Amino acid sequence: MAEILSSVVDAIGGTPLVRLDRLTAQAGVDGAILAKLEYLNPGFSKKDRAALGIIEEAEKSGAIKPGQTVVELTSGNMGTGLAIVCAVRGYPFVAVMSKGNSEERARMMTALGAEVILVDQLPGSVPGQVSGGDLALVEQAARAVTAERGAYRADQFHRDGNWLAHYHGTGPEIWDASHGAVDAFVDFIGSGGTYAGVARALKERNPLIKCFIVEPEGAAAAAGETITQPEHPIQGGGYAMPDLAFLTDAPVDGYLQVSGDEARETTRLLAHAEGIFAGFSSGANVAAALRLLRGDQAGKMIAVVICDSGLKYLSTDLWS
């Protein structure tokens, strides 16, 4: 039954799970892909869950004081989620982001009341392609701002509220909506929070479910591959960081690499075939799922996350 919510924060989570039967038919594969539509969260991305989880964790532990400024490094999605949660909970928010990310993200965070600090990329870096080196510069700036303002650092790469939001929310929601029929799960990693939370939740319910990490070709650090192309267009992840905290002891059945072109074309196919207007990383997830259905997961049911909205990439070549 519909109910009136006390704030937009209460609308985070509970997103639909949708079969991509038209897409799989066009691709000519045997099996099914279930897409968790996280772009229907209030901030148009899965990071709304992590933002709420981190702030609630800080409030419960007393790590954040009433009215204290919150600072976070972001590619835009986490910052948008934090801007929403902080606006409702009464915390000033400062987002620190690389200039390599799409400009829509900075505009959206500003509109939501955040202060946005943009950090230059490394010399020779390409706008729209944020490398691990670029992210390191953003991290330096975020630390400096946190110290200067006596702020609370949301630290999405280490705060347990990130992965726990998916462990308690996204994963169980996929299981319940599919009635436990999922055979595999794939996820393009940024902080690793979504992958770790969902994989743990699904494996606890059925250890036979296969869970795969997705990374960009040439930047597959988690898979132990040599980094040959740290710059790529799949924004929001693939930072070639080999020691992500949330992946420690997380169950992993395999690793898949997707090229920028493959992610781009699959994102467009997702829009044309299914009417799902998503971003690069969503295309990477679906491309990885299609590859599994062409291989040893043929005939199986694979769950993916639609990470964010295509509206955040109108200034990129995704929709040109």
| Catalytic positions | 47, 281
Smallest CA-to-CA distance from 95 within 43, 37, 170, 165 is with 43
* SS3 letters across 94-126: EEEEECCCCHHHHHHHHHCCCEEEEECCCCCCC
**Residue 215: φ, ψ to 5°:** -135, 165
Q: Which 8-state DSSP code applies to residue 153? A: E
- Asked if 89 contacts 302 with a C-beta cutoff of 8 angstroms, the reply is no
Q: Which of 245, 204, 177, 194 is nearest to 15 (CA)?
A: 177
Q: How far apart are CA 81 and CA 154, in angstroms?
A: 11
**Amino acid identity, position 218:** G
Q: How far is CA 36 from CA 154, 232, 253, 280, 309, in A?
A: 25, 24, 21, 15, 13
Torsion angle, CA of 267/268/273/277, rounded to 10 degrees? 70
Beta-sheet pairing, 254-258 with 210-216: parallel
| CB-facing half-sphere around the CA of 16: CA atoms within 13 A | 5
